[in-house]
């Protein structure tokens, strides 16, 4: 916790708020008490939010995960923390019940462009505006200018994505 406080203070000294990225591979055995402790620590450190990464547990039962997401969102709200869920399926209505939930993934994102044969096409991004983005805020990085992460898109395509992605919290 001391190191986290130090990092948050460093960010704040430069006028930035800090969020904490929590990898599920380190919290896979957490019950709600474990999450309460983690979120309490994040709150004490001065962090404004957490990004919970469920990417390490792709085989988790969706109904179990949805209950887990609800509980995490509720506890984070008690500690006045914003939440982003990464590596989760599309989850309708969560941000209405828990306004501290900024977004959730539920979409194949730019990280797939790192894997040969799995690159996302420009058409994939065009379709998202009429499919996934309609159902709520999305945890999606809309812009990269790194050639290896752009896939078959162009710089113009990447810039246009910043206007197409609807989310209260964008990672660029």
d(CA 127, CA 35): 35
Per-residue HEC secondary structure of 144-156 comes to: CCCHHHHCCCCHH
pLDDT given for residue 120 in this prediction: 86
pLDDT given for residue 48 in this prediction: 97
pLDDT, tens only, 8-43: 999 999 999 999 998 877 787 788 898 999 999 999
Q: What pLDDT band is residue 140 in, cutting at 50, 70 and 90?
A: confident
pTM: 0.84
Give yes or no for residue 58 having a pLDDT over 60. no
Q: What does the mean pLDDT of the chain come to?
A: 86
pLDDT given for residue 134 in this prediction: 84
Tell me the three state secondary structure of residue 112. Answer: helix
């Amino acid at each position: 916790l001391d190191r986290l406080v130090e990092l948050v203070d460093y960010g704040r000294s430069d006028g930035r708020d800090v969020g904490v990225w929590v990898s599920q591979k380190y919290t896979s055995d957490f019950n709600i008490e474990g999450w309460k402790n983690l979120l309490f620590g994040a709150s004490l450190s001065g962090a404004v939010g957490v990004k919970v990464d469920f990417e390490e547990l792709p085989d988790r039962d969706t109904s179990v995960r949805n209950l887990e997401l609800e509980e995490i969102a509720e506890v984070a709200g008690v500690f006045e923390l914003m939440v982003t869920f990464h590596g989760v399926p599309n989850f309708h209505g969560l941000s209405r019940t828990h306004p501290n939930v900024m977004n959730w993934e539920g979409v194949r994102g730019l990280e797939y462009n790192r894997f040969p044969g799995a690159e996302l096409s420009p058409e994939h991004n065009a379709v998202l505006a009429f499919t996934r983005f309609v159902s709520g805020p999305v945890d999606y990085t809309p812009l990269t200018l790194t050639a290896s992460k752009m896939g078959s898109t162009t710089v113009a395509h990447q810039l246009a994505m910043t206007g197409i992605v609807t989310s209260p919290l964008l990672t660029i």
